[in-house]
Amino acid sequence: MSDLEETCASLRAQIAATETQLAGLKRELARAQEAAVAKSNNAKVSDSNEHAQPTPESRWPLLQEEYKRYGRQMIVSQVGLEGQLKLRAAKVLLVGAGGLGCPAAQYLAGAGVGTLGLIDGDTVEVSNLHRQVLHRSRNVGKYKVDSAIETLRELNPHPTYIAHRTHLTPGEAPTIFAQYDLILDCTDNPATRYLISDTAVLLGKPLVSASALRTEGQLMVLNNPPRPPGDKEGGPCYRCVFPKPPPADSVVSCADGGILGPVVGTMGVLQALEAIKIITAGSGQGHDTGATVRESPLLHIFSAYSNPLFRTIRIRSRRTNCSVCSADATVTLDTITSGSTDYVFFCGSAHPPSLLAPDERISAREYHDKYPPSVLRPQGPSNQASTSRGHTIIDVRDKVQFGICSLEESINIPISNILASPSMEETPSWVPAELAASEYNDPIYVVCRLGNDSQLAVQRMKDLGLDRHGQRYIGDIRGGLRAWREQVDHEWPEY
């Protein structure tokens, strides 16, 4: 039996190594293919530009094909021919080619924006495809910006598409932003949001910012009109609205919190709409050509399961003590590029440190070897502890995730219930009777999706006295169910 186990372990290791090598080869192939396509496309664009642009002798400022392509929006009173020409001359940068960036880029390209830049250092994953609408299954493993531009060129070959295959960094942000007229923040983490806003303000670029998580989204137009720091007539920046970042441990990503595709798609489409409004402002017959009335900045909140779907809140103008757009600003392009403005430090670590001691944690493999399961059950939540195996395994994911997959004999107690328990002598209502019994001291193991919530749960359970002053072991499975898939069961659902 031991020989068979060694053979299985060896085969698993070989499979893992081969999969890693295959992924690397796919990335190299994607880069080579994209380089070949880019070279071919550049040649085609160069040839087409020689023949496709209106000649100096032409009576019309647009190509005949462009009149047909954009005609339905040019006859909208707020756009007209003047607005279409502004769109063709505009240069827009989208930071992020994911759930927000894809629909935003799709509609901006369709509208005829002359230059679209996309910056993103990630590659396409299968888990992206349900919401990141520019990507295709065949492009899994490609850079997102390359995958997106491939689809955008099929939609509209007229714009110039620029790929920035990198994550935005303070050292590169000013140089990249300087090439564009308008910035769209399509990212999903606070540190990058502050970097984008600071750079946009200091370079005089309007900014359209959006976010989405689960079933809700937010949208703001910032630094509009763009004015130098100290000019009170300028629009507020991200720091004006959120002077302090949220606690690092409260930030939830789409991977952890989930997201409905149409929700993030709605916010991305609205970003494109706001960008078009900014670019075409004052065009056509839909605006007063006299003195411009300065509009109050607004925060639009979308909630898919609320009625009404949208709420709008007026936000304050520029703060007099803002560190980037006030007269006493301390954030400058020099502090950004030099690293003196530390965004990671300002927002806190995105990767929480280990909260438990080594002896309070066990690996997925160690747990499996110590308590080998017989059957992995896919059914929904349980609330009864089982002591038949000499221990209890508590899964602290929410009920929805627990219903997707769970370990044998695990019981579901959501982390929210555990953290909400007040410190008191009475046993919390969520504790199963078997665990509360005085004669029961078998160990308790806690598991979650990634191994972060489980640590918080262990700490809280000990604070509540469930370890009986050290008489009962309480620990977590390090790395959570992701580690279970990697170390124990390669067929475990990955979501």
- 448 catalytic residue (yes or no): yes
Does 417 show up as a binding residue in the annotation? no
- 254 catalytic residue (yes or no): yes
Which structure tokens are listed for 53? 């642009």
Does 412 show up as a binding residue in the annotation? no
Does 127 show up as a binding residue in the annotation? yes
Say which residue the tokens 């989405």 belong to: 212
Does 41 show up as a binding residue in the annotation? no
Query: Where are the extended beta strands (E) located within 214-351?
Result: 216-222, 298-303, 310-314
Cis preceding-peptide flag for 226 (omega within 30 of 0) = no
Does 99 show up as a binding residue in the annotation? yes
> Under DSSP, is residue 398 helix (H, G, I), strand (E, B) or coil?
coil
Q: Which of 186, 347, 405, 448 is catalytic?
A: 448
CB-CB neighbours of 306 under 10 Å: 12
HSE, side-chain direction, 13 A CA sphere, residue 463 = 13
Which structure tokens are listed for 412? 């579901």
Query: Where are the extended beta strands (E) located within 344-389?
Result: 361-363
Does 188 show up as a binding residue in the annotation? yes
Q: In what order do the strands lie in the sheet with 298-303?
A: 160-164, 115-119, 91-95, 182-185, 207-213, 216-222, 298-303, 310-314
Does 322 show up as a binding residue in the annotation? yes
> Under DSSP, is residue 394 helix (H, G, I), strand (E, B) or coil?
strand
Does 186 show up as a binding residue in the annotation? no
Q: Which CA distances in Å does 428 have to 30, 215, 466?
A: 54, 31, 10
How does DSSP classify residue 339? T
Q: Which of 8, 102, 254, 347 is catalytic?
A: 254
Listed in sequence order, the residues at least 6 apart from 383 whose beta carbon sits closer than 8 Å to its beta carbon are: 411, 412, 413, 432
Which structure tokens are listed for 19? 């999969």
Does 128 show up as a binding residue in the annotation? yes
> Under DSSP, is residue 80 helix (H, G, I), strand (E, B) or coil?
helix
Binding-site sequence positions for ATP = 99, 120, 127-131, 144, 188-189
Binding-site sequence positions = 99, 120, 127-131, 144, 188-189, 237, 240, 322, 325
Binding-site sequence positions for Zn(2+) = 237, 240, 322, 325
Task: List, by residue number, the catalytic residues.
Answer: 254, 448
